[in-house]
């Protein structure tokens, strides 16, 4: 059985973990080390075999421009290069740095293959059951659900200000539309995750309906303050 890649690249992993620790992001933040590890694992799974290791490395490094927001691109690139020196050649290092720097951007026809792999892996890691927990964890002041607007955003709300945890979760279903995922293996891995999310959201609407709270009898409770 092949060794897991964190055992193949122990120095790389140790350096990345240490920087997460220094940034207070080892555990429990939106871009913690486990998230980086999940993205790395997904990247190695969806890439062809010849790209699996560089995909994994891009994933493990991809939090760098989130952890060190005060650093400019040049400093972040040097930091990532420091992680990778000795494990990858110059061409691979440049590809990984480019993917790490570009992964927060919208999908573009100009994206190179490694960037596409990293973007798809990042989305996969942001689906599934952990999505539900993380949405609640990082937005504790939002209501769990606004029963007046199950099928749309409340007035004045949008992706960045969803109005409820429920609506924030619904927005992730947008990634099911063609073009959001581009690697064939990622498209297949995403299908059961979308099905799980839709089933969860449907169960909330069904429960409210079953107890007679659709329509909600006290709509003023959810007026935007």
| pLDDT tens, position by position, 47-88 | 999 999 999 999 999 999 889 888 999 999 999 999 999 999
Same domain, 90 and 138: no
Task: Based on the fold, state whether residues 141 and 111 are members of the same structural domain.
Answer: no
Are 110 and 170 found together in one domain?
no
Instruction: Quote the pLDDT of residue 224.
Output: 62
Residue where one domain finishes, among candidates 125, 155, 177: 125
Number of structural domains the chain divides into: 2
Question: How many whole angstroms separate alpha carbon 47 and alpha carbon 42?
Answer: 9
At 127, list the tokens. 């689906």
Structural domain boundaries enclosing 212:
129-222
Same domain? For 158 and 212 the reply is yes
The pLDDT of residue 1 is above 70: no
Task: Decide which of 125, 146, 178 is a domain's last residue.
Answer: 125
Of 197, 179, 62, which Cα lies nearest the Cα of 118? 62
- With a cut of 90, say whether residue 42 has pLDDT above it: yes
User: Do 109 and 28 belong together in one domain?
Assistant: yes
Last residue of a domain, one of 125, 145, 174: 125
Residues 182 and 195 in one domain: yes
The whole-number average pLDDT for the span 136-140 is 93
Residue 89 and residue 193 in one domain: no
* Pair 13, 115 in one domain: yes
Q: Give 164-205 pLDDT, tens digit per residue.
A: 999 999 999 999 999 999 999 999 999 999 999 999 999 999
Find the Cα–Cα–Cα–Cα dihedral 180, 111, 65, 167, rounded to 10°: -10
Looking up tokens 């690139």 gives: 77
CATH number of the domain encompassing residue 44: 1.10.3210.10
134 in the same domain as 82: no
pTM reported for the whole predicted model: 0.95
Is the domain of 27 the same as that of 99? yes
| pLDDT for residue 108 is more than 60 | yes
173, 193 contact by CB (below 8 A): no
Q: Does residue 198 share a domain with residue 133?
A: yes
Question: Do 86 and 190 belong to one domain?
Answer: no
């Amino acid at each position: 059985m092949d060794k897991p890649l964190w055992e193949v690249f122990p120095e790389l992993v140790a350096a990345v973990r240490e920087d997460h620790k220094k940034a207070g992001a080892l555990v429990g933040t939106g871009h913690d080390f486990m998230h980086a590890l999940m993205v790395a694992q997904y990247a190695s799974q969806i890439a062809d075999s010849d790209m699996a290791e560089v995909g994994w490395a891009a994933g493990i490094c991809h939090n760098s421009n989130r952890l060190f927001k005060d650093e400019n691109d040049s400093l972040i690139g040097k930091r990532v290069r420091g992680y990778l020196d000795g494990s990858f050649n110059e061409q691979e290092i440049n590809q990984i740095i480019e993917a790490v720097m570009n992964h927060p951007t919208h999908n573009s026809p100009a994206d190179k293959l490694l960037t596409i792999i990293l973007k798809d892996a990042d989305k996969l890691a942001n689906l599934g059951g952990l999505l539900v927990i993380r949405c609640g964890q990082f937005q504790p002041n939002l209501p769990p659900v606004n029963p007046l607007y199950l099928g749309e955003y409340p007035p004045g709300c949008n992706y960045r200000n969803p109005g409820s945890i429920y609506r924030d979760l619904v927005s992730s279903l947008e990634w099911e539309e063609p073009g959001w995922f581009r690697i064939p293996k990622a498209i297949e891995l995403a299908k059961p995750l979308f099905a799980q999310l839709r089933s969860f959201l449907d169960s909330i609407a069904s429960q409210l309906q079953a107890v007679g709270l659709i329509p909600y009898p006290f709509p003023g409770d959810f007026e935007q303050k």
